[in-house]
């Protein structure tokens, strides 16, 4: 399998550019959402083999390029992390755009990418800079309080930005890099508390991304965030879908006007520039601009006698594609 690695505002993306035939599910026909569900159910070894040790690490997000349903789109893309598929991924979209530019497959201009949750528009400004117009984003619940173990009462909003988020205005401790392990633990407890309280997104979807907000360091940023992604890794970037969810909350509160600039700072200090326009279904359509850089091109090998070919601790070690 050939992959190209990039990072967007510090957050890694590993794009599969050759080797699709190694997928056990074969993905088959159907909508991109159906193919993504098949990938999630049948290709678990791909997630662990690509995104965990010894080939990767758990903050990596994978991007599987596939034919789009809509021929007007440049590509379809299924994003995934070590624990499953991700609906949309803002940093990953910018990473895929920089990767396709690196490969000479796209030039500066506007391109449409299809994701399992909808089509996004990517304005590639130069080899590294892209603005992504995301799927329509909206808040579903404001001021929800849960009791989280060791934290007490935690209040936040539930919003969709291409994934489901719980956004807490008050962080349990300062958003500083030395607090990342404690913030990760706290966010995981909030996620458990939400599930236990039965608080979910539309159609009972799990709220699998937790965001804490605090004051920014950079003078032009509106806030700093810490985002826990599904599984145990935090987002090094300001999280594209999380920033979309944040804009939806700001818009719902009347705190940010359409077209006004919002700069979101991440826990490592990287930033996205964002704004929104009103959406057709009562939400907002956010645009997130950031930079990605290609950091490596790798051909991955899966020796049949390598006991860790599907990743250390992978449940997908034998049988299926894990044996390839």
Q: Per CB under 6 A, does 240 bind ligand PYC? A: yes
> Is the Cβ of residue 228 or residue 317 nearer to ligand PYC in the bound state?
228
Q: Say which DSSP state 229 is in.
A: P
Among 23, 60, 77, 86, binds ligand PYC (CB under 6 A): 86
Q: Per CB under 6 A, does 117 bind ligand PYC? A: no
Window of 46-54, 88-96, 99-107, 193-201 that interacts with ligand PYC by CB under 6 A: 88-96
Please check whether residue 130 is in contact with residue 93, taking contact to mean a CB–CB distance below 8 angstroms: yes
How many residues sit in the footprint of ligand PYC (CB under 6 A)? 12
Q: Which residues contact 303 (CB under 8 A, 6 or more apart)?
A: 309
Q: Per CB under 6 A, does 43 bind ligand PYC? A: no
Report residue 216 as tokens.
């920014």
**How many Cβ atoms sit within 10 Å of the Cβ of residue 297?**
13
H/E element, 159: strand 152-160
Residue 89 among the catalytic residues: yes
Q: Per CB under 6 A, does 131 bind ligand PYC? A: no
Q: Which residues contact 289 (CB under 8 A, 6 or more apart)?
A: 125, 129, 130, 131, 132, 272, 273, 274
Among 91, 189, 275, 309, binds ligand PYC (CB under 6 A): 91
**Per-residue b or e along 233-251, where b marks 16 or more CB atoms closer than 10 Å to that residue's CB:** bbbbbbbbbbbbbbbbbbb
Among 61, 124, 167, 187, binds ligand PYC (CB under 6 A): 61
Q: Name residues contacting ligand PYC, limited to 2-31 (CB under 6 A).
A: 11
Q: Per CB under 6 A, does 87 bind ligand PYC? A: no
The single residue of 66, 168, 229, 239 carrying the catalytic annotation is 239
Among 225, 241, 264, 270, binds ligand PYC (CB under 6 A): 241
Residues 197-236, mask of contacts with ligand PYC (x by CB under 6 A): --------------------------------x-----x-
> Is the Cβ of residue 81 or residue 314 nearer to ligand PYC in the bound state?
81
Q: Per CB under 6 A, does 120 bind ligand PYC? A: no
**Per-residue b or e along 21-45, where b marks 16 or more CB atoms closer than 10 Å to that residue's CB:** ebbbbebeeeebbebbbbbbebbbb
Residue 249 among the catalytic residues: no
Distance between CA atoms of residues 132 and 146, nearest Å:
33
**How many Cβ atoms sit within 10 Å of the Cβ of residue 164?**
22
Among 90, 201, 311, 321, binds ligand PYC (CB under 6 A): 90
H/E element, 102: helix 90-102
Q: Per CB under 6 A, does 246 bind ligand PYC? A: no
Distance between CA atoms of residues 13 and 210, nearest Å:
20
Q: Which residues are catalytic?
A: 89, 239
Which residue ranges make up the site for ligand PYC (CB under 6 A)? Answer: 11, 61, 86, 89-91, 229, 235, 237, 239-241
């Amino acid at each position: 399998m050939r992959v190209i690695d990039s990072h967007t505002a510090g957050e890694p993306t590993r794009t599969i550019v050759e080797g699709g035939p190694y997928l056990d599910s074969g993905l088959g026909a159907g909508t991109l959402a159906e193919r993504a569900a098949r990938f999630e159910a049948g290709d678990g070894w791909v997630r662990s083999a690509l995104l965990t040790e010894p080939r990767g690490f758990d903050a990596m997000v994978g991007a599987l390029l596939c034919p789009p349903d809509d021929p007007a789109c440049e590509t379809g893309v299924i994003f995934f992390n070590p624990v499953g598929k991700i609906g949309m991924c803002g940093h990953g979209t910018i990473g895929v755009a920089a990767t396709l530019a690196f490969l000479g497959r796209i030039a500066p201009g506007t391109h449409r990418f299809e994701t399992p949750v909808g089509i996004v528009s990517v304005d590639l400004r130069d080899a590294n800079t892209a603005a992504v117009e995301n799927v329509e984003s909206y808040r579903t619940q404001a001021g929800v309080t849960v009791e989280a173990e060791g934290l007490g009462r935690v209040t936040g909003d539930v919003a969709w930005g291409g994934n489901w988020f719980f956004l807490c205005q008050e962080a349990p401790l300062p958003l500083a890099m030395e607090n990342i392990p404690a913030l990760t633990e706290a966010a995981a407890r909030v996620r458990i508390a939400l599930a236990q309280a039965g608080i979910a997104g539309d159609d009972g979807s799990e709220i699998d991304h937790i965001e804490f907000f605090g004051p920014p360091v950079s003078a032009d940023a509106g806030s700093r965030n810490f985002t826990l992604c599904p599984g145990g890794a935090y987002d090094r970037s300001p999280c594209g879908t999380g920033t979309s969810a944040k804009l939806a909350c700001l818009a719902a509160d009347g705190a940010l006007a359409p077209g006004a600039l919002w700069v979101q700072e991440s826990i490592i200090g990287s930033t996205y520039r964002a704004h929104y326009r009103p959406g057709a279904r009562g939400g907002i359509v956010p645009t997130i601009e950031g930079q990605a850089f290609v950091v490596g091109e790798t051909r991955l090998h899966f020796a049949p006698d390598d006991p860790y070919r599907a990743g250390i601790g992978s449940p997908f070690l034998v049988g299926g594609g894990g044996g390839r």
